[in-house]
Amino acid sequence: MPGKKLQWHLLAADPGLLPWQDNGVANVESKGKKICVARYRDAFYAFSATCPHAGGQFSEGWIDALGNIVCPLHRYRYALVNGRNTSGEGYYLKTYPLELRPDGLYIGLPEAGLFGW
């Protein structure tokens, strides 16, 4: 996220305690943002809970074999690593950096501006 300062927030002291669903996705909220965390091949990824196409909820989607989150509404695919719309429709999924620290899993959110933007 070049050019933007991040503020780090603790998501969970133990990532295993996030509300994981069978699809490997957990819904969380941090600083008022609805976020999904996905677990894929022993790594964690965070991204907006809502699809940029037409509002599908990724908590009802699934992770494919290539590491994409698939939206349940129209099946557009987004790379977990960077939010790239790998099915080619030209959208971009907002992703957030995560850090696993000794005291828990942290998420980096853009620092709020003067008016909370």
Question: Which residues in this chain contact ligand FES in the complex, by CB under 6 A?
Answer: 51, 53-56, 71, 73-74, 76
The residue among 52 and 108 lying less far from ligand FES, judged by its C-beta, is: 52
The residue among 56 and 108 lying less far from ligand FES, judged by its C-beta, is: 56
CA–CA gap between residue 104 and residue 111 (Å, rounded)? 20
Q: Which two tokens stand for residue 66?
A: 């290539």
Minimum distance from residue 84 beta carbon to ligand FES (Å): 14
The residue among 31 and 74 lying less far from ligand FES, judged by its C-beta, is: 74
Q: Is 117 helix (H, G, I), strand (E, B) or coil?
A: coil
Minimum distance from residue 58 beta carbon to ligand FES (Å): 8
CB 106 within 8 A of CB 14: no
The residue among 35 and 71 lying less far from ligand FES, judged by its C-beta, is: 71
CA–CA gap between residue 58 and residue 25 (Å, rounded)? 8
The closest of 33, 23, 10 to 80, measured between CA atoms, is: 23
Minimum distance from residue 70 beta carbon to ligand FES (Å): 9
Which residue reads 């991040």 in tokens?
6
Minimum distance from residue 59 beta carbon to ligand FES (Å): 12
